[in-house]
Amino acid sequence: MRLKIKKSDSYKFSKKYLELISKSRVYDVAEKTPVTFATNLSSKLKNDVFLKREDMQPIFSFKIRGAYNKIANLNQVQQKRGVITASAGNHAQGVANACKKLKVPCFIVMPVTAPEIKVKSVKRFGSKVLLHGDNFDQASKKARQMGKEQELEFIEAFDDPLTIAGQGTVGKEILDEHNDLDVIFVPVGGGGLLAGISAWVAQTQTQTKTKIYGVEVEDSACLAEAIKADKRVRLREVGLFADGVAVERIGKNNFDVIKECVDGVITVSIDELCAAVKDIFEDTRVLSEPAGALALAGLKKYSSKISNKRLLAISSGANVNFERLSYIVERSEVGENREKLLSIKIPEKPGSFLKLCKVFGRSQITEFNYRFANKTDAHVLVGIKTENEETFKLIKSKLSKSKFKFSDLTKNQISNDHLRHMVGGHKSIISERDSERLYRCQFPVRPGALMGFLKDFGSKWNISLFHYRNLGAAFANVLIGIEDKSKSKDALEKHLKSLDYSFIEETDNTAYKESVSYTHLTLPTNREV
- Catalytic positions, please? 63, 316
User: Distance (Å, rounded) from C-alpha 467 to C-alpha 152?
Assistant: 43
Rounded distance between C-alpha atoms, residue 403 and residue 420, angstroms: 24
Cβ–Cβ < 8 Å for 69, 89: no
CB distance 114 to 136 below 8 Å: no
CA dihedral 2, 316, 134, 103 (to 10 degrees): -140
> How far apart are alpha carbons 84 and 105 in whole angstroms?
9
Q: How far apart are CA 225 and CA 217, in angstroms?
A: 12
Label residue 477 exposed, middle or buried (CB < 10 Å: 0-12, 13-18, 19+): buried
SS3 179: coil
Measure the CA–CA gap between 293 and 270, rounded to whole angstroms: 11
- Cα-based torsion angle of the residue sequence 203, 205, 209, 214 in order, rounded to the nearest 10 degrees: -60
- Do 260 and 225 form a contact (C-beta atoms < 8 A)? no
Q: How many residues does the chain have?
A: 529
Q: Compute the distance between CA of residue 424 and CA of residue 3 in angstroms, rounded to an integer.
A: 43
DSSP helix, strand, coil percent of the chain (3-state; round to 5) = 45, 20, 35
Cβ-based neighbours of 305, under 8 Å, separated by 6 or more: none
| Class of residue 16 by CB neighbours under 10 A (exposed 0-12, middle 13-18, buried 19+) | middle
Under 8 Å between Cβ of 277 and 214: no
| Cα(53)–Cα(177) distance, integer angstroms | 13
How far apart are the C-alpha atoms of 429 and 493, rounded to whole Å?
Answer: 24
Task: Work out the end-to-end distance of the chain between its first and last CA atoms, rounded to an integer number of angstroms.
Answer: 37
